[in-house]
Amino acid sequence: MKFFSTLLTVLLLLLFIACGGEKSGEQAAEKPANPNNLTDFEMENGIGPVKEKIQLGEINMELAKKGEETYVGKCAPCHKLDKRLVGPAQRYTVDRRTPEYILNMIMNPDEMTKKHPTGQEMLAEYLAPMTNMNLTLDQAKEVLEYLRVVAKEGHEKNIVADPVFKNK
Ligand code: HEC
């Protein structure tokens, strides 16, 4: 009888450990590392002038056209749409980051690459720091509109862009 009760205790203990282990694993998957104690909003949407969710409507082609001009003049020296250059290929940026994150990265790249875990990861991959091009919020929103257009076009035409990370 002693044997069975010992066995039962061991089994219960194993079950407890297994469940406990699973739980902490789940938590680790849910919450990415956040050593700088960013808020949940900042973790998802970046650090910078945009501190609230913005509403995006249908794509506005007029704004996108202005955004394209800004992009060609100020961003194209370091970014191509489909190829990695100094910075990552921009074709599908809107698919991997929130609109607010993109605006904050454009307007506050210095802090983003120093304090935000994703920004830090990007800087570690690209090594060169992105320059703050001093866009106004309106100009940054126009560029965002342009990035929405190129992503849509990419999906329609099945355009393949370079991955963000070389070895990931
Ligand atoms: C001097 C080169 C340079 C210029 C100019 C530049 N970038 Fe960047 N950009 C980078 C680099 C390099 C990265 C990767 C992060 C890092 O290393 O700082 C980056 C990252 C980004 C990201 C984040 C992408 C992601 O998936 O997280 C966005 C968005 C971005 N740039 C948009 C722009 C826009 C829009 C402009 C023009 C207003 C611009 N960049 C101008 C070099 C540049």
Pocket lined around ligand 1, Cβ cut-off 6 Å: 74-75, 77-79, 86-88, 93, 96-97, 102, 105-106, 109, 113, 122-123, 126, 128-131, 133, 135, 143, 164
Instruction: Say yes or no: 70 and 99 in one domain.
Output: yes
Range of the domain at 42: 36-157
Give, for ligand 1, the residue of 66, 71, 79 to mutate: max count of ligand atoms closer than 8 Å to Cβ: 79
**pLDDT tens-digit map of 33-85:** 899 999 999 999 999 999 999 999 999 999 999 999 999 999 999 999 999 99
Q: How far is the CA of 1 from the centre of ligand 1 (A)?
A: 69
Instruction: Say yes or no: 130 and 95 in one domain.
Output: yes
Instruction: Say yes or no: 89 and 145 in one domain.
Output: yes
- Written in H, E and C, the secondary structure of the chain is CHHHHHHHHHHHHHHHHHHHHHHHHHHHHHCCCCCCCCCHHHHHHCCCCCCCCCCCCCCCHHHHHHHHHHHHHHHCCCCCCCCCCCCCCCCCHHHHCCHHHHHHHHHCHHHHHHHCHHHHHHHHHHCCCCCCCCCCHHHHHHHHHHHHHHHHHHHHHCCCCCCCCCCC
Report which of 137, 126, 129 is spatially closest to residue 102, judged by C-alpha positions.
137
Asked whether residue 21 carries a pLDDT value surpassing 80, the answer given is no
Instruction: Say yes or no: 40 and 119 in one domain.
Output: yes
165 assigned to some structural domain: no
Residue 70 CA, closest ligand 1 atom number: 38
Residue 74 CA, closest ligand 1 atom number: 37
Instruction: Say yes or no: 23 and 42 in one domain.
Output: no
Q: Band of the pLDDT at 167, cuts 50, 70, 90?
A: confident
Count of domains observed in the chain: 2
Instruction: Say yes or no: 10 and 56 in one domain.
Output: no
Asked whether residue 162 carries a pLDDT value surpassing 50, the answer given is yes
Query: Mean of the pLDDT values across residues 24-31?
Result: 58
Q: Counting Cβ atoms within 10 Å, is residue 66 exposed (0-12), middle (13-18) or buried (19+)?
A: middle
Asked whether residue 161 carries a pLDDT value surpassing 50, the answer given is yes
162 assigned to some structural domain: no
Query: Mean of the pLDDT values across residues 10-31?
Result: 55
pTM of the complete model: 0.86
**pLDDT tens-digit map of 135-145:** 999 999 999 99
168 assigned to some structural domain: no
Instruction: Say yes or no: 50 and 78 in one domain.
Output: yes
Instruction: Say yes or no: 68 and 127 in one domain.
Output: yes
Instruction: Say yes or no: 40 and 104 in one domain.
Output: yes
Instruction: Say yes or no: 27 and 40 in one domain.
Output: no
Residue nearest ligand 1's atom 32 by CA: 106
